[in-house]
Amino acid sequence: MRTADIRQRFLDYFAARGHSVVPSAPLPTPDPTLLFVNAGMVPFKPYFAGEAAPRWDRATSVQKCVRTLDIEEVGKTTRHGSFFQMNGNFSFGDYFKEEAIAFAWDLSVKPQTEGGYGLDPERIWVTVHHSDTESRGIWREVAGLPDARIVARGDEDNFWSMGVPGPCGPCSELYYDRGPALGREGGPAVDEDRYMEFWNLVFMQYERGEGPGKSGYPILGELPRRNIDTGMGLERMATLLQGKDNLYETDEIRPVLDRAAELAGVRYGADAGADVRLRVVADHVRTALMLLADGTAPGNEGRGYVLRRILRRSVRSMRQLGFHDPALPELLPVARDRMAPGYPDVVESFARISDQAYGEEDAFRATLRQGTTVLDTAVAEVRRGGGRSLPGAQAFLLHDTYGFPIDLTLEMAAEQGVEVDREGFTALMNAQRERARADARARKSGGAADTSALRAILDAHGPTDWRAWEGLTTESRVLALLGPEGPAPVARTGDIVSVVLDRTPFYAESGGQDSDAGLLSGASAEAEVVDVQRPLPGLVVHRVRITAGELAVDDSVHAAVDPEWRLGARQAHSGTHVLHAALREVLGPTALQSGSYNRPGYLRLDFPWRGALSPAVRSEVEEAANRALRRDLPVGVRWMPLPEAKQLGALALFDETYGEKVRVVEIGGAWSRELCGGTHVEHAAQIGTVALTSESSVGAGMRRLEAAVGIEGFGYLARERDLVARIAEQLGAPRAELPEKIAGLLDRLKAADRENARLKAQAVSARAGDLAGRAADAGGTLVVAHTLDGAADEARALALAVRDRLPQGRPGIAAVATTSGGLVVAVNAAAREAGRHAGALVKEVLGGRGGGSADVAQGGGVPAADLTALLADLPRRIAAG
């Protein structure tokens, strides 16, 4: 049975039993504590945590998941991958243990001809929490399982919570005995390779308190609504139903592995080390495909860094297998074809996906060349100093600046007999990650110190009555004030605090649009609103600075958005939609927005594209955008079910989470149709103008357009006009003739540069001949030692010219220093035959600070006065040895 069929069979089974089929959420998650969805229940977390009212009594989904905490272990085991799919059925206060167990057993053992998976019931084992006698009894009754195949386990294995105060409860796991060839007899407590877990049923029935880890926290009591969360590993079920030993041999993964083996000229199963690398390639190529399909782009931080690392590990693994040509063009299409039955979007978006992936591989191949040079130099420095360990700071520099993976640094350093200070590297990495996490937490929480306090506010008062689409003012009540130390009853002049209101007109930053600015004013206080965030679903938090008086909990305030700010924000956000549509009109549908940011007067838009846009293309995009403004295209907003919006062709941002009904913003009807929660103008002409200010690279295969919008756009164009006018005045030429006038000036400058270079070469030649004629005889070797008041490139040119003027039949050495402390040594063929090496001479003179090839080398780092003395002593050194 194909994996795609296993997937559909699961959804069909639960849909027939009253479950709403919920589409997989995108892999990027809006949860600030997660980069990617890492479990099937993550999209339902707000309902389980009580942050939002459930939309369904019972639901089912097949959720895409990515886990990368143990990415170095991928391929070493045969049960874990970085990308996986989790089949799940969920109940929100509807059915509980008896129905969940009955569903799981029925689907697992029902014959395939009747819509089940047809597993042998005699080979299924289950585990229950040691305290959960109720589940044990249900398994006996529903499945007829004997006690010997119902295994009691402790908190670590069979009790679930989110790791924070909230819902928790026992769980029951289903295992399948794959036979004695795969391990010891005795059940899952003895061997979890032979007995493979394939389904976990979580029974949320308690509320837990504060406490660390998976145990040791207090149970506060029963939940008012008991919930069910289950997860069946799709890849594991495919392993069982396809009769494979491991997930890498299933139908969605094995073809990628086979193609990698074919390219590398190796056979899977012949060598353990090669097998691990092949599994890494197969896993990572599929993971990268799915991340790219959901809009993640390679980058240097957060999600982008995870994707970049996965892509680079796959490329590096192919190189380790002996394949040095571009690998992804051979492998990614295979993964696309295997995933297409379950995810048609990987085919629809493949032009964009492949463009980004292949660009990243090209960049990494260049990185390997550059990083290898830096690493070799660092290792040589360590060895010259008598050390055996590369400092952690050096490894971090390679990683952070050159994108050189730490595993590659470890491996290549070991090949040269040098260890790496892994602890020092890890400490620097952890510090960097913690800074990033702290920034993200502070931003997402609106500056509030304690998200648990925000959760308590939401529980007590419910969602904020958000009215940003309706107007610019509301009469509001202060529900809570939070400072750096937590809740506070009052805030005074000069304080910066987070404020929660019962209702607000302020737009909270989201969808690329910056938050509103404005004022809160009450009977005894005024406060400037400097930031607005939505740290929890439904809760709006205002970051404010108290400018006068005292603001207290329960105060009534007039909340007012700055109308000029909102106008600028609307122009910029609508301008982003217009620019996106214009870009796709000119470049085609693969130029799909992968990120954006807009604030009054400014917008930026990132999109996948290989190579810079020509000035002509930039002008064409800008003209298409402003043509839409000139036509004054109408801007409309419609609410509709998500499937209907997709059928209409509405574009969705990948990192946004959408409900059953979505808000579709149209500019000119189908010309620009996107899912969006931002604020917009009523007609395109209200945007004013879109003036492109720059186009640049933000990573391999990713470009960024920036533009000035509205009055700022007109200001930008006015400044450009004034600049052209000043240049025309200075050159004494009409504006229309400026390109030819400037081109002529540049031609004359280039000619002057060439003439200067010719004269300089003549001077160097004359000086070289003079110096060569005055060479010192050092034991049969002619030596020229000279100090030059010039740059390093001049010293190199002179050293080479002097060397070429020395008699070629005699050993000759030319050493030229600069007054800034640099040194270049050039050695002729006769000297090299006599055993002289330019790199060794540079190191000898400079005490190891430099090096190079046998015929020419350079270095520096020695004070100029010391270098002059060292250089004067060079003939004696040559004569002596």
| Number of continuous H segments (helices) and E segments (strands) in the chain | 26, 34
CA distance 737 to 305: 48
CA distance 160 to 633: 53
CA distance 765 to 785: 16
- The H or E element containing residue 168 is strand 166-177
Integer angstrom CA distances of residue 27 from 19, 294, 347: 23, 6, 17
What pLDDT was estimated at residue 112? 95
- The H or E element containing residue 325 is none
Which residue do the tokens 């996906």 mark? 353
The tokens describing 612, both together, are 């810079």
Indicate the length of the chain as a whole number.
Answer: 881
What pLDDT was estimated at residue 802? 92
3-state secondary structure of 837: coil
> Known binder of ligand: residue 577?
yes
Q: Where along the chain do its domains lie? A: 3-249, 254-436, 445-561, 566-726, 758-880
What pLDDT was estimated at residue 498? 94
Dihedral class, residue 847 (left if φ above 0, else alpha if ψ from -120 to 50, else beta): left
- The H or E element containing residue 375 is helix 350-384
User: Which segments within 37-106 are labelled E, that is strand?
Assistant: 58-66, 83-92
User: Do 237 and 6 form a contact (C-beta atoms < 8 A)?
Assistant: yes
**Residue 611, class by beta-carbon neighbours within 10 Å (0-12 exposed, 13-18 middle, 19+ buried)?**
exposed
> Known binder of ligand: residue 680?
yes
**Residue 802, class by beta-carbon neighbours within 10 Å (0-12 exposed, 13-18 middle, 19+ buried)?**
buried
Residue 718 neighbours by CB under 8 Å, 6+ apart: none
DSSP, res 36: B
Q: What is the pLDDT of residues 5-33, one digit of tens each?
A: 999 999 999 999 999 999 998 898 866 66
CA distance 727 to 783: 54
Which DSSP string corresponds to 115-140?
Answer: TS----GGGEEEEEETT-HHHHHHHH
- Is the Cα torsion angle 864, 866, 872, 875 positive or negative in sign? negative
Q: How many CB atoms lie within 10 A of CB 484?
A: 12
**350-384 helix and 328-339 helix, angle to the nearest 10 degrees:** 140
> Known binder of ligand: residue 558?
no
Question: What is the CATH code of the structural domain delimited by 3-249?
Answer: 3.30.930.10
Q: How many CB atoms lie within 10 A of CB 588?
A: 10
445-561: which CATH topology?
Elongation Factor Tu (Ef-tu); domain 3 (2.40.30)
What pLDDT was estimated at residue 449? 47
CA distance 166 to 676: 32
The tokens describing 461, both together, are 């008062």
| Helix, strand, coil % in the chain, rounded to nearest 5 | 45, 25, 30
What pLDDT was estimated at residue 653? 66
- The H or E element containing residue 670 is none
Question: What is the CATH code of the structural domain delimited by 566-726?
Answer: 3.30.980.10
The tokens describing 623, both together, are 């003209």
Give residue 409's Cα distance to chain centre.
Answer: 21
Q: Same fold for the domain at 3-249 and the one at 566-726?
A: no
User: Do 586 and 620 form a contact (C-beta atoms < 8 A)?
Assistant: yes
Residue type, 349: S
Does the domain at 758-880 match CATH 3.40.50.150? Answer given as no
User: Do 609 and 587 form a contact (C-beta atoms < 8 A)?
Assistant: yes
User: Do 125 and 136 form a contact (C-beta atoms < 8 A)?
Assistant: no
Integer angstrom CA distances of residue 28 from 302, 306, 656: 10, 11, 8
Q: What is the pTM of this model?
A: 0.63
> Known binder of ligand: residue 130?
no
Q: Which residues of the chain have pLDDT under 70?
A: 30-33, 70, 78-79, 213-214, 300, 403, 415, 433, 435-450, 653-659, 700, 848-851, 861
3-state secondary structure of 365: helix
CA distance 649 to 671: 10
CA distance 199 to 187: 15
User: Do 489 and 553 form a contact (C-beta atoms < 8 A)?
Assistant: yes
Query: Largest alpha-carbon pair distance within the chain?
Result: 106
- The H or E element containing residue 72 is none
CA distance 613 to 626: 18
- State the first-to-last Cα distance of the chain, in angstroms, to the nearest integer: 78
The tokens describing 532, both together, are 């607005």
Residue 637 neighbours by CB under 8 Å, 6+ apart: 663, 664, 665, 666, 680
Residue 137 neighbours by CB under 8 Å, 6+ apart: none
Integer angstrom CA distances of residue 676 from 25, 136, 320: 17, 48, 45
Which DSSP string corresponds to 517-585?
Answer: -EEEEESSEEEEEEEEEEEETTEEEEEEEEEEEEEETT-EEEEEE-HHHHHHHHHHHHHHHHHHHHHHH
